[in-house]
Amino acid sequence: MTKVLGSVLMRKPKLRNRSVRLGPRFLRAFQFAAEKHSGQTRKASTIPYIAHLMGVASLVLEAGGDEDLAIAALLHDVVEDCGGAPMLKEVRRRFGSRVAKVVDGCTDADTYPKAPWRERKENYIAHLKRADADTRLVSAADKLNNVRSIVSDYRAIGESVWSRFNGGREGTLWYYRTLRDEFLRHKRNRITRELELAVTDLMLLAEKSLES
């Protein structure tokens, strides 16, 4: 008993809040993302698309993600927007299987032409039900960054914001409401709590707009 107790006491606790060191791989991933998304902008804006990728990576790091997950955050759209399945192979070769798995898990279209919008989104939500914690963390960070941008633009330009989205007003609201519910099926974390608040803000804005 003493031997077992001593062994337990000798174990070092996991340091959940230890600092994350970002090395040359992260810098290479940033450059790779910047090059692949060069010339792309956020929907209906002049904001370089890399701003979104940086925002998602920041959220992942703030939530305790490690370098692999920060890299996956930077690259989470590179397959969908910059080359499909062959690009995923390149990501795996350059940055490893764990990063590639998360990037693949954040992709709702890797072939062209893409499937219809609603079909892709329903399939993605079904995929999230089976996704691992790494994928869910990066995906939730992506959705949080997106919802915050929609809320900010909604306050600035009103109902015209929906013209940017293939799902329109009702489809977009359905998608983020369903994503919120799916992420909240698991234990809440920093990102999913903020996502819940952001989606609530979006829904309230939409309701007020109908009333006015």
Helix (H, G, I), strand (E, B) or coil at 11: coil
Query: Taking a C-beta distance cutoff of 8 angstroms, is the pair 146, 45 a contact?
Result: no
Distance of alpha carbon 93 from alpha carbon 199, whole angstroms: 36
| Calpha distance 126→179 (Å, rounded) | 10
User: Does residue 134 carry a catalytic annotation?
Assistant: no
Active site residue 153: no
* C-alpha dihedral (28, 50, 107, 22), degrees to nearest 10: 40
Instruction: Please tell me which residue in 80, 104, 108, 134 is annotated as part of the active site.
Output: 80
Under DSSP, the state recorded for 19 is P
Q: Name the active-site residue from 66, 67, 81, 90.
A: 81
- The tokens for 31 are 């450059």
So which residues are the catalytic ones? 80-81
